[in-house]
Amino acid sequence: GAVVSQHPSRVICKSGTSVKIECRSLDFQATTMFWYRQFPKKSLMLMATSNEGSKATYEQGVEKDKFLINHASLTLSTLTVTSAHPEDSSFYICSTYPVGTSGGIVTDTQYFGPGTRLTVL
Amino acid sequence: TQLLEQSPQFLSIQEGENLTVYCNSSSVFSSLQWYRQEPGEGPVLLVTVVTGGEVKKLKRLTFQFGDARKDSSLHITAAQPGDTGLYLCAGFTSGTYKYIFGTGTRLKVLA
């Protein structure tokens, strides 16, 4: 089945530093990737939709200058948490779905990365 | 804003009992997925339902999509400790290509 990887799986950083999280689709092209944030024992909250070759679309209330998203290739999207603070500590998860050769979606099924646990001290 | 409300939020039952989790919305979805998530891991897909009224079975789990494609249910028969986890429904809208997650149901099955 389709595989999505995230790196790193866990990161601890000091307040004020920036952290980059990578999301890769390993065996298919992903023109669209989704970034979610999850607080402990809560559901997933969609932060933004990452589109290859264009600007990301952010959900209401998500600071685009705080959470920089870059989708430079068909298999890689990155989320950079800039000037991280303790309140940014969370579990960040990406997901995507395969597209066909014409760019259309093949299936509604999305595939998730394993998540990245960010802890800001 | 699309919302998917799940009920109950928490459920603690004894092994062998049956349970049903509900996922409700006022919005129509072109498909709906159910996931189970363990702590520190990404969600794992259990099933996708597409057609209104569709029923899918996965061993002891039965999933149903409402006729109007606004709601869904997950029924577990004879729950086992291995069923413990966070259950999430997610609706997909083809117009926005977005997945909206439900509020989640945390299930604990006691041996």
- Please write the tens of the pLDDT for every residue from A23-74: 998 887 888 899 999 988 889 999 999 988 888 999 999 999 999 999 988 8
Which residues in chain A touch residue B6, judged by CB atoms under 8 angstroms apart?
43
Q: With bands split at pLDDT 50, 70 and 90, how would you rate the model's confidence at B93?
A: confident
**Per-residue pLDDT for B91 more than 80?**
yes
| Residue A102: per-residue pLDDT | 52
Q: What's the pLDDT tens digit per position in B26-63?
A: 999 988 999 999 988 889 989 999 999 999 999 999 99
Cα distances (Å, whole numbers) of residue A108 to A105, A112, B109: 7, 13, 31
The greatest distance separating any two alpha carbons of chain A, rounded to the nearest whole angstrom, comes to: 45
Please give the backbone phi and psi of residue B82, each rounded to the nearest 5 degrees, phi first.
Answer: -70, -10
For chain A, what is the total number of helices (H) and then of strands (E)? 0, 11
Here the tokens at position A61 are 């209330």
- A57 and A51 Cβ atoms separated by less than 8 Å: yes
Q: Which residues on adjacent β-strands are paired with residue A23?
A: A6, A77
Q: A116 CA to chain B: closest CA distance, Å? A: 8
Q: Assign residue A16 a region: left if phi > 0, alpha if psi is -120 to 50, beta otherwise?
A: left
Nearest to B99 among A34, A41, A60 (CB): A34
For the cut 60, the answer to whether the pLDDT of residue B1 exceeds it is: no
pLDDT for the residue A2: 63
The residues, any chain, with a CB within 8 Å of residue A63's CB and separated by 6 or more, are: none
Rounded to a whole number of angstroms, the distance from the CA of A51 to the nearest CA of chain B is 11
Close Cβ partners of A104 (under 8 Å, ≥ 6 residues apart):
none
pLDDT value, residue A31: 83
**B92 neighbors B23 (Cβ within 8 angstroms):** no
pLDDT for B11 beyond 60? yes
Nearest to A43 among B41, B97, B104 (CB): B104
To the nearest whole Å, the CA of A48 is away from the closest chain B CA by: 10
High-pLDDT (> 90) share of chain B, %: 79
**Chain A positions in Cβ-Cβ contact with residue B30 (cut-off 8 Å):** 108
Confidence (pLDDT) at A108:
61
Q: Is the CB of A108 less than 8 angstroms away from the CB of B92?
A: yes
Q: How far is CA B102 from the centre of its chain?
A: 8
Q: Is the dihedral of CA A4, B46, B89, A38 positive or negative?
A: negative
Contacts of A45 (CB under 8 A, 6+ apart): A36, A37, A38, A39, A59, B101
pLDDT of amino acid A30: 81
